[in-house]
Chain A
Amino acid sequence: MPEATQPRSLPADSKEHALWLLDELVPVKGVNNLSVALQADAALLGPAVQGTVELLLRRHEALRTVFRQEEAGLTKEVLDADALRIEIEELAAEPGEVAAVVGEFIARPFDIDGRPLVRAALVRCADGDAFCLAVHHLVFDTVSGAVLLDEFTAGYTALAAGGEPPAELLAAQPPYREPAPRPAAVEYWRGQLAGADAAGLALWCGSEDLPEPTLTGDQVTADLSPRATEVLRRLQKELRAPEAVVLLAAYGLLLARHGAGPDLVVGTPVNVRAREASRAVGYHVNTLPMRIPVDLGGGFRGLVRTARDAFLGAVAHADVPVDVLTPELRRDGGASWRNTVFRHLFNYVPDDGRTTFPLADTTARRLPVENGFSKFDLEFFFLSSADRVSIRAAYYTQVLDRADVQGLLERFESLLLAAAAGPDLPMGELPLAGPSDRAVLAASNDTARPVEPADVLTAVRERVALAPSASAVVSGGRSTTYAELWGAAEHTRAVLADAGVGAGDIVALAAPRGPALAAAALGVWLAGAVYLPVDPEHPVQRLAYVLEDSGARAVLTAPGVELPEGVRARVLPLERVGQDGPLPDTSANGPDPDSCAYLIYTSGSTGKPKGTLISHRSLGNVVQHFAEELKVTAEDSVLWLTTFAFDISALELFLPLVCGGRLVVASDEARTDGRALLGEVVAHDVGIVQATPTTWRVVADAADGRLAGRRLVCGGEPLPPALARTLAASGGSLLHVYGPSETTIWSTSGPVPADVDRVDVGRPIANTQVFIVDPDGRELPVGVQGELCIAGAGVALGYHNRPELTAERFADHPVYGRHYRTGDLARLRPDGTVELLGRTDRQIKLRGHRIELGEVEAVLLGHPGMRDVAVVVVGRGGADAALVAFVESPDGLDAAGLTAHARSLLPSAAVPQEIVVLESLPTTANEKRDHLALTRLAEQRRAERSPAAEAVPEAQSGTAGQLLALWQTTLGRTDIGPDANFFDSGGHSLLGAQLVQRIEKTLGVPVRLTDLFAHPTPLAMAERLEAGA
C-alpha cells in the first residue's frame, strides 16, 4: 500500500457507522450486500466485461472507497484507481440456475478491513451469460444500481464492438458529499415523532422476533391486477395525490387493518442527492420515518391526505438520518440492538417498464437477485411503469412467513379496490379478505349436512326398538339392555309427571355415572323437561348455587347423594334399571328440536358459575357428527369417563346409544389413575375414549401399547405438542377437538399426525362455521390472530336468566348469523384449520411488552422434565406486576435451567420472576387448569411476603437461621431452606446486592457481593461468616 494514501483517510459518518454496526451484529454476514446483475441471451466477452468494470471503478470513487476500523474509529479512504484492480470471477451455472449462482455470489460477506467493497463475476451459462457486481451498501444504493447498469451497458457495448469507450465514461463522476442536516429539518422530525410508540406497530400475524435477531429475509413478488392498476391511476386523479402517496396510504391501511398502529410509523428510503449530483454513485439514501395515524372510522380520502403530508414532509426534510433522533424516541424491542422507530418499509420506484435492453449485439435483462436478508419485518417495494405496478414484498422470516406475506399482498389489492369504490366509507368497514382468504374460509365452513333424526332422544328410541335386548350400558360388571334402559326412562317420565314436572321445567340430575343416570336423562326428555347435570362431588356451595340459580323443579338423586340443605326443588330418587318396559312407539313425536335439552353450568370468569341452555338440535348435531367422524357402529364401546357435570360427558353417554353400541361406565378411580383406566379399556375392549389433556397425560405415561387401535378424543384445554405426539404415537388414532360449552360440547375437530409440531384444533364440525374477529368485531383473514367466533347448529339458546351476558357474548353477524364470541385467541391456517393461541384475557401488557401467557407456558413446557405449566400475572396493571409460573415437574425442578431456557427464548419481560413447584396444578370442576385459583395463590404468596408479613419466618437456630430469614425476605418466598442457592431461587445480582446489604445490617458483619457469589446458600454463607469471625 503506498504511504501517500494514508492522509486521505477520513472518519466515517454516523450513517456509515450505523450500517457497519448492523453488519457486525447480525450473526450471519451479508445483510448490507447489494448488487447490479444482468443476464444476456448470448455469451459475454470477458475482456470487454473486465474493461468496462475498470472503467466504472475509475469513474466512481465510491466504488474505490474502503473502510477500516482504526484507533480513531471507523475510517474511510478512497483508493487510487491505479492501485485497485478487481478480478472478474468466472463462475458457471446450469440453465435455470443463474439466479441461484448470482445469489450466492452476492451473499458472500465483505471484510471491512480496508479491502474493496465491490467484486464482479461473469457467470457462464448455456442460456446466456450473466454479469454481476456485488457491492456493499456503504458505497452504494438503488440509484447507484440504475446508474451503473446504464453505464455498464454503454461501456460494454462500445468495448465489445472493439471501439473506444464513450467519452462521458472516461470522465470522473464528481462524488457527492451530503451536507449536514439542517437544524430546521431536525426540528421538523422532532415534532413529527413526538410521542410515537413503536411498540404498537406489531401485526396480528406472524411471530415474535428472537432475542438475538438474525434478519434472514425472503420475498414474494406480485403484480397489481390490470383492474387494480387502472383503479390506482383513477384514484390518483380523484384524490389529487401522487401515485406513490395513494400506494403509501393503502399500505398504511393494510398494516392498520392487520393490527399495527393506529398511530402508524412507516419507513421509506429517500434519495438525498442534490439535483446536480443525481448520477453520483454512493450511499446517499436516508430511511425516513413517516408518521401516518390511521383512523379506521374515517375514509380513505382522508388517509391519502395524511399520507401526502407525511410523504412530502419527509422528502422536504430528507437530509436528517433517523439515527440523529433515535435517542429521543420510544422504540420497540426493549434493549435489543434492533431498535427502530418503524418495522415496516415503503419503497416506490418509477420504472420505464422495459424488461429487456440491448447490450452490444445481444439482448439482456436485469436479474432481480436479493441478498437473503430483511432489515425490517416487511417491505413493500413498488415498481411502477405505465401499464404495470409490481410489488416485491420482502420480509423477515423470523417474524412473518411466506403465507402471511402472500395474504398481505392479496389483501392490499382488495383494500385498494374497496377504497376506490368507497373513498369516503369508514376504512374499518372495507372488506379485507383476499380471494385466497375467501376460498379458505368458504371451504372450511362448507359444513352443511342433514341431521336425521334431529334429536338424540328419537335416535335412541329407534335403537331401542331395533335391538331391545342388545347391551346398552356396562357398569361394574353388570350389563343393562336397551329395553331395560328405556323401561327406566319411561318410569322416570311417570314419576316426574306425578311430581308436577312439565314441559320446559328443569330437572337436576345428581347421581354418579351409571345406567340409572343414563335412563334418567332420557326420562327427563320424555317428560318434555330439561336436564341439569350436577356432580354430587362438587363443593356444596356450588351445588346449592346451581340448584338455586337454575330454578330446578325437581332433583333426581341416587342413594347416598347428599344435597345441600334448603334445596327448594322436589327431591326424588333415581329410578332403578333392570326392568324392561313396553317397546317404544317409534312413530311418537320427538321433542321440538329447538327446545331446550339441557342446562349446563360452567365456571364464570367472576368465579360464579353460569348456566347455558342447549337445544335438542344442537346436541343432536354434535352427537351425529362424531358418530360419523369416529365411525361408531353398534359393535363399538365408548367409555363414560367424564363427570356428567362437564358437558363433554353427554357425548360419551349418547354417542354409543344413538349408534346401538355399548356405553362402558368407567370407575371413579379411572379418572385419576391412568393404569386403572387402561385396565378398564382393555377389559371391556373400549374402542373410543374421550378425555382432557390432564387425564390423557396420566394415561399416556402408562399406556404401554394398550391404546393401539383405539380412537382417542382429546379436548377441553390446550394440548401440548409433546403430549399430542406421545398420544399420536401410541398406536391409537387421535382426534383433537375444541369447543366451548356455549356452542355445545365440541365445535371443531381434526386428526393429529404423529409428527405434529404445532397442534391445531381442526376444522368446524357439521353445520358449524368459524370466523376470527379483531377487537372491534371486524372479520380477520387467514393467518391473522383475533377472537374466535362460532356460528351454526351448536350455538346455545343463551345463558339462563342472564340476558345482559347473553347479549354480550351471543351476537348476530350479517354473513354467519347468530354466533358466540369464544374469548379464545385463534387464527385460521391456510389449510383451513384453526390454531388456538390462548385466551383474549390471557394476553397482557407488562411494562410496555405485549405478552401472551399461553406462549410463555409453551416455552416453559419445552424444557425437559416439565409435565405441566401455568403462568399467571400478579399485581396486574400495577408497576410491580410480575409473572409467576406454577410447574409440575415430577423428577424435581431445575429452576435455574428452566429460567435460563426461558431467557434464551423470551424477552426479559416475559420471563417469569418466580417459579413455584406444585405437585399437581389445580383444576376446575371440569378438569381444566384453574388459572383463577393459581392467580389467587400467587397473590396470596405475594401478600405473605409484603413488608407487614416480613417477620422472621420459621425458626432456624444461629447464623444460618438468620440468614435463611433474609434469603426468604429478599426472594419473597417461604418455601426455601438453608440449602437454597440464592441465584437458582429467583435471585439476580441486583437482588443479591440488596441481600448482602441486609446481611450486613442485620448481623453487623461486613459482607461483599462476591462472598455471595461464592457462598450462595444460607448454610454456606453462615459457614463463611462464622469462619471469618
Chain B
Amino acid sequence: MTEPQTWRVLGNADAHELVLAVDFDATGRAEGRFTDLAAGLAGLPFSIWETVPQEAGTGAGGTGPVERWLEEVAADGRPVRAVFGFCVGGVYAGAIAQRIAERQGRAPALVLFDPEQSGPLTLYSQFHKVLDSMSTLLSDEETAQAAAEARRAHEQHTEMAPLGAELLDVYRHTAKPVFDRLELDEKRQEEFTAVFASFVSYLIAAAEIDPLRAWREAVVVTSSSPTSGLNGSRGAGQDIAVGRELRVDVPHVDLLRDPGVTRTVAELLGTETRG
C-alpha cells in the first residue's frame, strides 16, 4: 500500500476501516487538532486519515479538492466508518460523506465539530486572525495599514476569488518586512506565503459547496464558544438543521483535545452506524 499524498495517516495505519477527518491543520494555531483527537482514539480499530492542505491553484472549483481526496480513499479500498469535519472542514466532510455513501452503499457517520460555512466574511475574519498572529512582529502602523487595506478589499469584493486574491496581496506585502526581520530566504518566503494561499483556496472552494443537505444527517458537536459553529449561526439568526446536536461545555479551542469529547466520539463510533 502506498502512503496517501492528500491525506496524513494519524494512527492505526493497518486497521480495517477508515475514519476521515477534514481540517486545515494550520500549525501553530490555537485550536486543538485532529492529531489530538486521534491520540485519544488510538485504542479503536480505525485508521484515522486527515486531509493534507492542498496547494493553492491545484484544480479548480469546489469539488476539486474533494475529488482528489476521494481518489485516494477509493484507491485504498477500505470501508469508511466515519467522516469528521472541524469548522469549515465540516463543509467538505459533508460532501465527502455523501459521495462515500453512494460509493459504498452505506453512509459513514458524519461527525462535525463546530461546523461553519465559508463566505467572504470567513475570509476576512481569518485574515485578521493571521494578522493578529503577526502583530507582535509588526509595528502598530504596519498592522493598522494592513487592517485598513483588508477592509477596503472586503468593501470592494463580494466574490470569494477576487477578495481572496486581494487579501493574499495585502498579506504578501505586509508579511515582507516580517520575513526580512526573520532573515527568511526567497524559498521560505514563497513557501510560507503558499500556506496562507492554500488556506485561502480552501475557504474559497468551501464557499462553493452547499453543505446544508449533508448536515441534516450529521451529528454536530457544539462547543461553548458563542461565536463558533452552530452557536455562531444561531447568533446570526440562521437556524441550521442537523441530525443531532451535542452541546458540550468545552471552548472551541479545546474541542478536539477535550477528553470528554474524545470519549463521546469513541461512543459515537461504536454505536453510530446507519444505512
Contacts and interface: CB of A to CB of B under 8 A. Distances in A.
Contacts of A908: 132-133, 135-136
B149 interface: yes
B253 A1013 contact: no
Interface string A476-520: 000000000000000000000000000000000000000000000
Contact of B30 (A111, A339, A899): A899
Contacts of B145: 327
Given A25-B125, A71-B159, A335 B147 contact: yes
Contacts, number: 151
A542 interface: no
A992 B192 CA distance: 9
A1012 B235 CA distance: 38
B216 to A, nearest CB: 22
B44 interface: no
A278 interface: no
B7 to A, nearest CB: 11
Query: Interface extent on B, as a size class?
Result: 35 or more
A848 interface: yes
* Residue among A25, A27, A29, A899 with the highest chain B CB neighbour number at 10 A: A27
A754 interface: no
Interface in B124-159: 125, 128, 131-137, 140-141, 143-149, 151, 154-159
A990 B135 contact: no
A74 B158 contact: yes
Contacts of B42: none
A350 to B, nearest CB: 35
A72 B163 CA distance: 11
Contacts of B2: none
A508 to B, nearest CB: 50
Contacts of A1010: 52-53, 191, 195
A900 B144 contact: no
A109 B236 contact: yes
B72 interface: no
Given A214-B226, A901-B253, A909-B136, A1013 B27 contact: yes
A334 B147 CA distance: 9
Interface string A14-38: 1001100100110111000000000
Contacts of B227: 27, 212, 214
A70 interface: yes
A861 to B, nearest CB: 16
B259 to A, nearest CB: 10
Interface string A986-1029: 01111111101100000000001110111010000000000000
B81 interface: no
B82 to A, nearest CB: 23
Interface in B181-200: 182-185, 187-189, 191-192, 195
A847 interface: yes
Contacts of A71: 158-159
Nearest to B146: A335
Interface string A919-951: 000000000000000000000000000000000
A1013 B136 contact: no
Given A71-B159, A900-B30, A988-B28, A334 B143 contact: yes
Given A335-B146, A904-B251, A994-B184, A1009 B191 contact: yes
Contacts of B257: 894, 897
Contact of A339 (B137, B141, B147, B226): B147
B28 to A, nearest CB: 4
Given A903-B30, A904-B253, A73 B182 contact: no
Nearest to B184: A993
A900 B140 contact: no
A818 interface: no
Contacts of B11: none
B172 interface: no
Contacts of B29: 900
A848 B27 contact: no
A997 B154 contact: no
Interface string A26-55: 011100000000000000000000000000
A326 interface: yes
A331 interface: yes
Interface string B46-67: 0000001100000000000000
Contacts of B253: 900-901, 903-904
Nearest to B259: A864
B32 interface: yes
A329 interface: yes
B178 interface: yes
A275 B118 CA distance: 45
A24 B121 contact: yes
Nearest to A863: B254
B105 interface: no
Nearest to A1000: B187
A904 B145 CA distance: 24
Given A27-B232, A1008-B191, A334 B135 contact: yes
Interface in A191-230: 199, 211-212, 214
A334 B134 CA distance: 10
A334 B8 CA distance: 35
A983 to B, nearest CB: 5
B237 interface: yes
Nearest to A897: B257
B255 to A, nearest CB: 11
Contacts of B210: none
B166 interface: no
Contacts of B232: 27
A85 interface: no
Interface string A273-312: 0000000000000000000000000000000000000000
A990 B188 CA distance: 10
Interface in A856-902: 894, 897, 899-901
Contacts of B184: 993-994, 997
A588 to B, nearest CB: 66
A983 B128 contact: no
A899 B257 CA distance: 13
Interface centre among B30, B53, B157 (most CB of A within 10 A): B30
Interface string B212-235: 000000000000011100001001
B30 A992 contact: no
B31 interface: yes
B195 A1009 contact: yes
A21 B154 contact: yes
B26 interface: yes
Interface of A: 14, 17-18, 21, 24-25, 27-29, 69-74, 108-109, 111, 199, 211-212, 214, 326-327, 329-331, 334-337, 339, 847-848, 894, 897, 899-901, 903-904, 908-909, 983, 987-994, 996-997, 1008-1010, 1012-1014, 1016
29 contacts: A25-B125, A27-B227, A27-B236, A28-B226, A28-B235, A70-B158, A73-B156, A199-B140, A330-B140, A336-B132, A337-B125, A337-B128, A339-B144, A894-B257, A897-B254, A903-B30, A904-B30, A908-B136, A983-B28, A987-B28, A990-B182, A991-B182, A992-B27, A993-B179, A1008-B191, A1009-B191, A1010-B191, A1010-B195, A1013-B25
Given A21-B154, A897-B254, 16 more contacts: A28-B235, A29-B236, A69-B120, A212-B227, A335-B128, A339-B147, A894-B257, A897-B257, A908-B135, A983-B28, A990-B192, A993-B189, A993-B191, A997-B187, A1008-B191, A1010-B53
